Amino acid sequence: MNGLAFRQAGFDVNDIVIQAKNLDLTFETNDGPIHALKGVDLEINKGDFVSFIGPSGCGKTTFLRVIAALEHPTGGEITVNGMSPDEARQNRAYGYVFQAAGLYPWRTIGGNIKLPLEIMGYSKAEQKAKVEKVLDLVDLAGFDKKFPWQLSGGMQQRASIARALAFDADILLMDEPFGALDEIVRDHLNEQLLKLWARTEKTIGFVTHSIPEAVYLSTKIVVMSPRPGQIYDVIESTLPKERPLDIRDTQEFLDIAHRVREGLRAGHAYD
């Protein structure tokens, strides 16, 4: 039975992209075990924009890294596209955007975007076409011959997003990608990211410290609390998919932001 048949039969299992059940992760350190994740249950559907918010040590980055098979859980189950995270990675299920752009200084912007394509064995012609396509997606058309130091911080981070998009993964995992940028650039990039999400229909997992950023971007906000890292609240956003920047002044936006803040406070995030 393929996906379409499932849907016609009234199932929606195929819409679940990431599913975590009772996920545990304990790091063994010299100071004793650290419970980075405890009893995490979460489902992420296709096309969702999910933000993970919480203070340092709440496990939001760890959870993203578990999805990406960069960390391995010590208990519970997780599937990505119905597979284990390791298999999903082999199948190029996701692109990962890190806190810093991390572009190779010795490669041009185009060369940096080609990096995953070279490793995955795309032909030269395909590489060229894909570089052009993703540079256009992040509004950097014509910058492929520039070196990273010739670009501003915001442009570098856009190039790193292009690199994550280059090989057509359906899932985009972003770990505080705009954390190091100033607020004006950040607003601009958030707006662009929403447009990109609408155009590409990717599923996005987004780690952030910022309540307005989480509320503005997400269809689903996961509020996490530390020690042990666990999910405190999952908020389904009622905001429309079309979101101009000034939606942040509406009552609906403020209500959601308020609930996130309440969640963070109740989860002892302000300790």
Q: How far is the CB of 60 from another protein (least distance, A)?
A: 16
Residues 21-40, one symbol each (x = binds another protein by CB under 8 A, - = not), give --------------------
Q: How far is the CB of 173 from another protein (least distance, A)?
A: 8
**SS3 sequence, 115-128?**
HHHHHCCCCHHHHH
Q: How far is the CB of 177 from another protein (least distance, A)?
A: 12
Q: How far is the CB of 208 from another protein (least distance, A)?
A: 18
Q: Which is nearer to another protein, 124 or 258 (CB)?
A: 124
Q: How many angstroms separate the CA atoms of 177 and 181, rounded? A: 9
106 binds another protein (CB under 8 A): yes
98 binds another protein (CB under 8 A): yes
Q: Which is nearer to another protein, 117 or 224 (CB)?
A: 117
Q: How many angstroms separate the CA atoms of 20 and 43, rounded? A: 6
Length of the chain: 271
177 binds another protein (CB under 8 A): no
Q: Which of 26, 67, 28 is nearest to 44 (CA)?
A: 67
Residues 54-83, one symbol each (x = binds another protein by CB under 8 A, - = not), give --------------x-x-------------
3-state secondary structure of 57: coil
Residue identified by tokens 């959870």 is 63
Q: Among residues 41, 118, 183, 255, which is the contact residue for another protein, using CB under 8 A? A: 118
Count CB neighbours of 27 within 10 A. 13
149 binds another protein (CB under 8 A): yes
Check: CB of residue 53 under 8 Å from CB of residue 264. yes
Q: How far is the CB of 89 from another protein (least distance, A)?
A: 6
Q: Which is nearer to another protein, 6 or 98 (CB)?
A: 98
Q: Which is nearer to another protein, 106 or 270 (CB)?
A: 106
Q: How far is the CB of 41 from another protein (least distance, A)?
A: 25
Q: How many angstroms separate the CA atoms of 88 and 194, rounded? A: 25
267 binds another protein (CB under 8 A): no
Q: How many angstroms separate the CA atoms of 91 and 130, rounded? A: 18
Q: Write the DSSP symbol of residue 269.
A: T
205 binds another protein (CB under 8 A): no
Count of residues that bind another protein according to CB under 8 A: 24
Q: Which is nearer to another protein, 23 or 93 (CB)?
A: 93
Q: How many angstroms separate the CA atoms of 244 and 47, rounded? A: 19
Check: CB of residue 78 under 8 Å from CB of residue 94. no
Q: Which of 106, 12, 63 is nearest to 228 (CA)?
A: 63
Q: What tokens appear for 28 in the block? A: 């063994």
110 binds another protein (CB under 8 A): no
Q: How many angstroms separate the CA atoms of 231 and 189, rounded? A: 27
Residues that bind another protein (CB under 8 A): 68, 70, 89-90, 94-96, 98-100, 102, 104-108, 115-116, 118-120, 147-149
